[in-house]
Amino acid sequence: MRNPFTSRAFSDAIILTAFCLCVLFFAVQNDAFEALVDYVADHEEYQLDELILALATAGIGSLIYAALRVVELARALNAKERAESDTAWLAEHDPLTHLHNRRGLDAAVAAMEANGTTGRYTVHSIDLDGFKKINDLLGHEAGDQALFEVARRLGGIYGSDALFRVGGDEFVVLQGSTDAQAAQAKASAAVAALSEPFALSGTTAEIGASIGIASVPKGKGGVRTALQHADAAMYVAKRGGRNQTVWFEPSMKDALRHRIELERDLRSALREHVVVPYFQPLVDLKSGKVHGFEALARWERNGEFLPAMEFIALAEETGLIVELTDQLLRRASIEAKSWPNHVNLAFNISPVQFRDPQLGLRIIQILGETGLPPHRLEIEITETALVQDLHQADITVSTLHAAGIRVALDDFGTGYSSLSQLSRFNFDKIKIDRSFVEGFETDERQAKIVRAVLGLGRGLGLTMTAEGIESESQLKALTELGCDVGQGFLFGRAMPADDARRLCALDTDTIRSLAG
């Protein structure tokens, strides 16, 4: 700190004080004031008394002005202190919910470690279910309202001092107890509270929560380890469905490490465009020619292909599904443009992505960029995607149809209220799920279902596709029943783009011989 006695202001004050003392001494010795009064009286023509009055008034005004500046400076200093205090508060708090943020959590953990109290806590990792849907459908203002209400409800259960908002819809609780029953009771109460409807922007919405719980192990870094354990348990809870609470088990640590590595590699794969479309043939059962190809995602990682369901599920959880879908559709559309004009591209849309209000417009934009005619694209959607948001599904299907894109109902019979979806949406094709095809030759009930579905499709004027055809007998039976298009290992597995291009000109017999 700088010594105030060596400052310029201090030296100036010393000089000014010394000067005033000298003037005072001189005035006392010479009766200066009396002499001045006599001089002014003897020289009235100079108007010295008025001049002295003006100077005195100016001096008083200067004193008042200086006093006001001092008050203003004091206020400015107070405002600066408040601003610094607010900045310090914002550094460790979330301005929306007023809860401590991740930096505040780090500070709390550091204080616990310094005080040696880490062994007295249980950690809860809370992730909201369905929050993104509120942002997408109702807007970010409604999302902010929801987060504020979530914080209020959780604060009523855990107490705001123990609660931290560490991400968009992620919260952490440091519960000051090691009682497992008490921790489970708190978590169950939190799930129940967050399951109650939220009043947002003139409507109601539902939010759930997945909660992972972990005890703090002994030793240095115990709380930080417990935070990782609670996160691992939370991911297990999310995979189990909405409103789940799960306690950490050691086996979850390996699963979390695998998930983190997989997510990191998937992000890298998307940056490097190494997730590519493979193409499984769709064969016209009447002409025996290739009717089209369904694009399927393939990712070769560490020398082997990862199961598509594994990394697609991860993409859905992490929000990477939009980028993944756009990349695959763009590459598949470029490839499909090189096929004969009668060969179409079928592309499946994730149920998670189908809730996106911009989905239809993005698909149309990709077709415009690649030059693939809209009538050669067929978007496949499942009943699960439809029922998650019927209103948005209706808008998206209408947008696709208006652009000339065809829409197929995939995995028919395995979702919800199939007949009601057929009556509401204007589909162009129905795909019979492989679970019905694989057993219909030997199971009379399955056979009746397949015949009924094919009859329903013909009555509605829809193209009918059977998935999972693996034998000659299945092919013959389905052809006799009037099925239009077949797909399955009998005609070929998903293949690289070059193989698909060569397959376009072949007939059914040649295709089957190559597949065999």
Closest CA to 175 of 184, 284, 167: 184
Where does the pLDDT of residue 500 fall: very low under 50, low under 70, confident under 90, or very high at 90 and above? very high
Q: Which CATH number fits domain 269-515: 3.20.20.450, 3.40.50.740, 3.50.50.60, 1.10.443.10?
A: 3.20.20.450
Weakest-pLDDT range from 43-52, 66-75, 318-327:
43-52
Where does the pLDDT of residue 296 fall: very low under 50, low under 70, confident under 90, or very high at 90 and above? very high
Weakest-pLDDT range from 51-55, 192-196, 332-336, 357-361:
51-55
CA torsion through residues 319, 324, 327, 333, sign: negative
153 Cβ contact list (under 8 Å, min separation 6): 190, 193, 194, 196
The residue assigned the tokens 């789940």 is 244
Where does the pLDDT of residue 1 fall: very low under 50, low under 70, confident under 90, or very high at 90 and above? very low
* Contact between residue 346 and residue 293 where contact means Cβ atoms under 8 Å apart: yes
CA torsion through residues 516, 466, 315, 225, sign: negative
Q: For the chain, what percent of residues have pLDDT higher than 90?
A: 36
**Between β-strands 485-486 and 275-284, what pairing exists: parallel, antiparallel or unpaired?**
antiparallel
Q: Which helix (H) or strand (E) holds 36?
A: helix 32-42
In angstroms, rounded to a whole number, what is the distance separating the alpha carbons of residues 478 and 286?
11
Weakest-pLDDT range from 38-47, 112-121, 308-317, 408-417:
38-47
Q: What is the DSSP string of 52-117?
A: HHHHHHHHHHHHHHHHHHHHHHHHHHHHHHHHHHHHHHHHHB-TTT--B-HHHHHHHHHHHHHHT-
Weakest-pLDDT range from 14-18, 170-174, 191-195:
14-18
pLDDT at 210: 93
pLDDT at 235: 85
Indicate whether 16 pLDDT > 70.
yes
Indicate whether 40 pLDDT > 70.
no
In angstroms, rounded to a whole number, what is the distance separating the alpha carbons of residues 461 and 427?
10
| Three-state DSSP class for residue 516 | coil
242 Cβ contact list (under 8 Å, min separation 6): 129, 130, 208, 210
Indicate whether 483 pLDDT > 90.
yes
80 or 310: which leads in pLDDT: 310
pLDDT at 194: 92
Taking only the tens place, the pLDDT of each residue in 333-374 is 999 999 999 999 999 998 878 777 889 999 999 999 999 999
Q: For the chain, what percent of residues have pLDDT higher than 70?
A: 85
Taking only the tens place, the pLDDT of each residue in 138-166 is 777 888 899 999 999 999 999 877 899 98
pLDDT at 185: 93
pLDDT at 310: 86
Domain range 102-248, CATH architecture: 2-Layer Sandwich (3.30)
Q: Average pLDDT for residues 189-207, to the nearest whole number?
A: 87
pLDDT at 515: 62
Weakest-pLDDT range from 62-66, 249-253, 297-301:
62-66
From the CB of residue 255, how many other CB atoms can be counted at a distance below 10 Å?
14
Amino acid at 403: A
Q: Average pLDDT for residues 176-198, to the nearest whole number?
A: 91
